[in-house]
Amino acid sequence: MNVAIFSPSQNPYSETFIQAHKNFLPGNIFYYFGPSSNIQLENHKPISGKWKRLFLKGYQKVANKPSTFSQNKIVIDSLKQNEIDVILVEYATHAQHLWPLYNELKIPVVVHFHGYDASIKKVIETHNYYKEIFELASYIVVVSVKMLEMVIEMGCSKDKVVLNTYGPQSGFVKIKPEFIKKQFIGIGRFTDKKAPYYTILAFKKVVVHYPDVKLLLAGDGVLLNTCKNLVNYLGLEKNICFLGVITPEEYQDILKESLAFVQHSITADNGDMEGTPLAVLEASAAGLPVISTLHAGIPDVIKHRETGLLCDEHDIEGMAENMMSLLKHISLAKSLGNSGKNFISKNFSLERHITKLNEILMLAVKDNKILH
């Protein structure tokens, strides 16, 4: 198949799941990226020349066409030229922006929800609860049981929704953790729904009993400076290290020597929630126990007291106790980590995720041929 993937941005460091779609889906992949007003095609020449753009903008003005006419025409011509069989759109919000474009095509469209696009109240309301997308799309892909329920509640037909949780890349599966350091690792954007400040506050309670314990926090985001200030205020500069944005390889090296992965995910005031955090899957696939919360898709992939330790959202005491349980009993950390590695390998491999996504795309093409 010739598959067109549409993403709002090219290679954001935190969206490795989109890069996995681009790199591992079979067939010929055409990666269209950028906002609806400036879509580009990766590893190809510009999808239209200067003169064509000028002509279309002139025609748009003379014929009193909508402002999106020229860009949509350029993208449509590119899709036809590349003989695209099916379109995969990353994020429902992006699909909504491109709705007029898809409405003119007879190419089947599959829309992939990832997290905020299914949970932030204002986003959902602004996009009219995705009514047009639910009607147009051949299938809607979600990454957690909670997200599936939310999308159906918004009005999507049950027959169109497919649950397909992410899978970690093979490098994480190959890791053999050594549990050699009293060290916890957390990685992700510093945002409200990941609540890194709760992880820090819980860790403060752990340091009282284990003064030499370490916490490594990787990533970037709007709450990073706030968290740095909190660490300084609590006097934890020697115990907590901010790593900034790190590569998957660097993350793998840290996982190998750490005791557990930690993340205190919550539902933000605006409704923003996780999908199923890929970093959680990666840590568990590596053989580390995961300490986190009963939030969104996390309980789908982390089983409490079997592959990790989960507490309620906002429960700082509970998270601190879970950290100390592993510091006190290294054998428990090893047991949970080993069970997690087996569980992820059997149920949430990247190969399984890509295979199922490809099957969905193929089915969309088959259904479209029957209709037309």
Per the prediction, the chain carries an average pLDDT of: 93
State yes or no: pLDDT of 368 exceeds 70: yes
* Strand residue runs (E) in 23-102: 28-33, 40-41, 86-90
Per-residue model confidence as pLDDT tens digits over 313-336: 999 999 999 999 999 999 999 999
Q: Between 15 and 177, whose confidence is greater?
A: 177
pLDDT of residue 345 exceeding 80, the answer is yes
Q: Where are the domains of the chain?
A: 2-167+350-371, 170-347
55 SS3 class: helix
Q: How many CB atoms lie within 10 A of CB 158?
A: 8
pLDDT of residue 72: 81
Q: Report the topology of domain 170-347.
A: Rossmann fold (3.40.50)
pLDDT in tens, 266-325: 999 999 999 999 999 999 999 999 999 999 999 999 999 999 999 999 999 999 999 999
Strand 28-33 relative to strand 40-41: parallel, antiparallel, unpaired?
Answer: antiparallel
Does residue 13 have a pLDDT over 70? no
In the predicted structure, residue 11 carries a pLDDT above the cut 90? no
Do residues 221 and 190 make contact, with C-beta atoms less than 8 angstroms apart? yes
Angstrom distance (rounded) from CA 328 to CA 238:
21
Digit-coded pLDDT (tens) for 74-99: 899 899 999 999 999 999 999 998 88
pLDDT of residue 136: 92
At CA 223, angle to CA 19 and CA 237, rounded to 5? Answer: 110
Distance CA 95, CA 242 (A): 35
- With CA atoms as reference, report the closest residue to 265 among 199, 333, 184: 199
pLDDT score at 187 = 97
Q: Give percent above pLDDT 90 in the chain.
A: 83
State the pLDDT at residue 53. 66
Q: Is the pLDDT of residue 349 over 90?
A: yes
Q: What is the pLDDT of residues 238-265, one digit of tens each?
A: 999 999 999 999 999 999 999 999 999 9
The pLDDT confidence band at residue 14, using thresholds 50, 70 and 90, is low
- Confidence class of residue 45 from pLDDT cuts 50, 70 and 90? confident
pLDDT recorded at residue 190:
97
Q: How many CB atoms lie within 10 A of CB 297?
A: 26
Identify residue 158 by its one-letter amino acid code.
Answer: K
SS3 breakdown of the chain: % helix, strand, coil, rounded to 5?
50, 15, 35
pLDDT-wise least confident of 9-18, 48-57, 232-241: 48-57
> How far is it, in rounded angstroms, from Cα 251 to Cα 212?
22
When pLDDT is cut at 50, 70 and 90, the band that residue 69 belongs to is: low
**Quick check: helix, strand or coil at residue 201?**
helix
Q: What is the pLDDT of residue 62?
A: 75
For residues 162-186, average pLDDT: 96
Q: If pLDDT is split at 50, 70 and 90, which confidence band does 372 have? A: low
| pLDDT higher than 70, residue 359 | yes
Distance CA 199, CA 217 (A): 10
pLDDT number for residue 67: 61
- Which class is domain 2-167+350-371? alpha beta
